[in-house]
Amino acid sequence: MNRRDSLKALGFTTLSAGLLLEACKTDTKKGAEETTTAAAGDEVGRQPFEVERDKKLHADKFFTTAEMATITVLADIIIPKDDKSGSASDAKVPDFIEFIVKDMPDHQTPMRGGLRWLDLQCLNRFGKPFTDCTKDQQIQLVDMIAYPNKAKPEMAQGVAFFNRMRDLTASGFFTSEMGVKDVGFAGNQPGKWTGVPEDILKHYGMENVKASASM
């Protein structure tokens, strides 16, 4: 599964605007946490209680070590490393997901339940948990739940889980510095007036009229 196939599967343009907005806010919060040692009240534009809340969220731990290992493998299946940029785990997406489920608790039960479902499926099929399976076995199971229109009815729980995991992975990656560079987003750029296009001037019979240089 290469990067282009992964991005097609992501359906990135259908991601929840609310989740992306929260992701952007979270990315900004995490950047502030990592780049300053100032006192809570010294952080520009933020209330002390906001800073303390984020510190607590970072300090708390929701996922177990085993669950984080599964999340890391899944995230890298969804967005693997290629010659353009690193993988989801290179962009710290697992850490992002850990933070998001604490910041948005509605994700906690579906994510934990989905991770357990994944391990049970692997135990029944391959006799070992997801992270201990071979790459081919992992992809085999992922393919059963990554495409909702093709998935069997009995895989519905897995499909719902993978949809959520995919959305969180995409949100975390494409709001990271690495992800922004990956899509080539340069932010808002000032426009530059170069005059009326030649074909427009010709259309109106004004090809001999020079546009003013001072607009």
Over 50: is that where the pLDDT of 37 sits?
A: no
Proportion of the chain above pLDDT 70, given as a percent: 74
Question: What pTM value is reported for the model?
Answer: 0.68
The Cα-based distances of 64 to 23, 29, 213 in angstroms read 22, 23, 64
CB-CB contact of 87 with 109 (8 Å): no
Over 90: is that where the pLDDT of 39 sits?
A: no
Q: Which residue has the higher pLDDT, 161 or 188?
A: 161
pLDDT tens digits, residue range 155-168? Answer: 999 999 999 999 99
Per-residue model confidence (pLDDT) at position 125 = 97
Q: Which of 67, 80, 92, 81 is nearest to 175 (CA)?
A: 92
pLDDT tens digits, residue range 95-145? Answer: 999 999 999 999 999 999 999 999 999 999 999 999 999 999 999 999 999
SS3 145: helix
Per-residue model confidence (pLDDT) at position 145 = 97
Using CA atoms, how far apart are residues 129 and 126, in angstroms rounded to an integer? 8
Secondary structure in 3-state letters for 74-141:
HHHHHCCCCCCCCCCCCCCHHHHHHHHHHHCHHHHHHHHHHHHHHHHHHHHHHCCCHHHCCHHHHHHH
Query: Considering the chain, what is the average pLDDT of its residues?
Result: 80
SS3 23: helix
Q: What's the whole-number mean pLDDT along residues 64-83?
A: 96
